Structure 1
Amino acid sequence: MSDDEEYWVFGYGSLMWRPGFDFVERSSATLHGRRRAFCIYSVHHRGTYERPGLVLGLAPGGAVRGAAYRIAPQAWPEVYAYLLEREQPTETYVEARRAIRLADGRRVESLVFLSDTGHPQWAGALSLERQAELITGAVGLSGPNEDYLRDLVAHLREEGVGDRAMEALLAKVEGGPKTGRALSPG
């Protein structure tokens, strides 16, 4: 690792508002070829094996606006270890390097955690109704799944990111019936 190497991390969910690591630069950024989606069954952070919830992933297709963080080279090993622990408790993501475009037009290579479509926790393209059912009432080690969705939408709004799919899902969750019944992942 040399001091002139650049290390970037791309966040599209909670990393946008709660990175949990030191950085030297933060910028809005866009990743093409992937989209933000509740496409991963959560049995750790926002659900359990008995009552799975859903968490965000980068599903194939589209584009997603998020936040990019430049990490100091000397801090990279610690930040990278932290990210592996945070993002990979059940190994539902594939670590990748992808080109992202920063708000000022620069293109940089960034660490990105893509959804593993072959993982058993991959939920794929669920209907809005099914997503709302899974999110409503699910609770994991990091708290209620509904809070995660609310935090996401609030922070996207603060960042000026219009995400109609997340807005529609929040409206469905907040307007839907509250149930405590167990739901199977499928």
Structure 2
Amino acid sequence: MDSPASLTALSSALEPSPNAIRLWTPEERLASMNATLHHWQPGQDIWIYAYGSLIWRPEFEYLERRLATLRGHHRSLCLWSRVNRGTPEVPGLVFGLDRGGACRGMVFKIAGDSVPDVFPPLWAREMSTGAYIPRWIHCDTPEGRVQALAFLMDRRNPGYAGGLQHEHMLAVVRRAHGTNGPCVEYVLETASALRAAGIRDMRLENFAQHLLQPH
């Protein structure tokens, strides 16, 4: 098995340079948000799909919450985090919706009248680096299919961290700490929230168990 030092070195070699990832300007975020809401009618309720921290820390009020399955993408620690759960020098990893498979998560129903207040802070949170592609997709819920806004991983973004091996991901998550706290905490909170909601993600469960083991 590789040593911790060699794992750290290899992980670092796979990371983009600190200057490769930049924060979007408020103007860029506003343009992206307006383009996404182009067909939205004022007062119309909106569903938002959640697969990670939005499940346990939505930061907005909602009318309804449902379990939901999105097909064609899966939950993955595939995005470098250089602010919230890491730093430019020691980045962490956060979840994205990467291509392939399916993902069980939740959808939140936002009142139409609240959309103008909810969306700017949501865009600041989810689209800080433009690493996601906002897209309207169909989700299956126990009460029927709904159309929801999902933030899909953009593999062309320099923050994309696909293809990391299990041990390398563990090393990255264990060492990273950002403005929102340790990366380990983020992963474990997400795993706990999924369990509480009755969502089984065996890959994440396995990863969380390895994080808790001495190393």
TM-score of the alignment, normalized to the shorter chain, above 0.5: yes
Work out whether residues 131 and 169 of structure 1, in 8 Å CA contact, stay in contact via their aligned partners in 2: no
Match of 1:152 in 2: 190
* 3-state secondary structure, aligned to 1:136: helix
CA drift at 1:60: 0.5
* Superimposed CA distance per residue, residues 33-53 of structure 1 (whole angstroms, 9 cap, x where no aligned partner): 010000011111100110011
Counterparts of 1:77-156 in structure 2 under 5 Å?
77-104=116-143, 106-156=144-194
User: How far off its partner does 1:13 sit?
Assistant: 0.5
Q: Look up the equivalent residue of 2:51 and give its one-letter code.
A: Y
What is the alpha-carbon distance in structure 1 between the residues aligned to residue 146 and residue 119 of structure 2?
Answer: 17
Paired positions, count: 175
Which of residues 8, 13, 26 is equivalent to 2:52? 13
Letter in 1 for 2:199: V
2:110 matched residue in structure 1: 71
CA change 1:176–1:40 in 2 (3 A) is farther
Q: Give the unaligned 5+ runs of structure 2.
A: 1-40
Q: Secondary structure at the match of 1:57?
A: strand
User: 1:129-178: CA deviations, max 9, x gaps?
Assistant: 1111110020011100000011011111111111111111112222252x
Bigger strand fraction:
1
Q: In structure 1, the residue corresponding to 2:175 is in which secondary structure?
A: coil
Provide the C-alpha distance between the structure 1 equivalents of 2:95 and 2:214, rounded to a whole number of angstroms.
20
Look up the equivalent residue of 1:18 and give its one-letter code: R
Q: Hey, which bits of structure 1, 4+ residues long, moved more than 4 A?
A: none
Matching residue of 1:56: 95
Pick the structure with greater CA Rg.
Answer: 2
| Match in the other structure for 1:182 | none
Could you tell me whether the CA contact under 8 Å between 1:156 and 1:162 is conserved in 2?
Answer: yes
Structure 1 gap ranges (5+): 178-186
What residue identity is the alignment partner of 1:56? F
1:34–1:62 contact (8 Å) kept in structure 2: yes
Measure how far apart 1:79 and its partner are.
Answer: 1.2
AA aligned to 2:185 is D
How many Å apart are 1:6 and its aligned residue? 3.1
Normalised by the length of structure 1, the TM-score is 0.90
- Distance in 1 between residues matched to 2:79 and 2:42, nearest whole Å: 36
C-alpha distance in 1 between matches for 2:52 and 2:168: 20
Deviation of 1:11 after TM superposition, in Å, equals 0.4
Kindly state the Cα deviation for residue 2 of structure 1 after the two structures are TM-superposed: 4.3
- The secondary structure found in structure 1 opposite 2:186 is helix
Q: CA deviation at 1:108?
A: 1.3
The alignment partner of 2:100 has SS state of: strand
Question: 1:46 is matched with which residue?
Answer: 85
TM-score by length of 2: 0.78
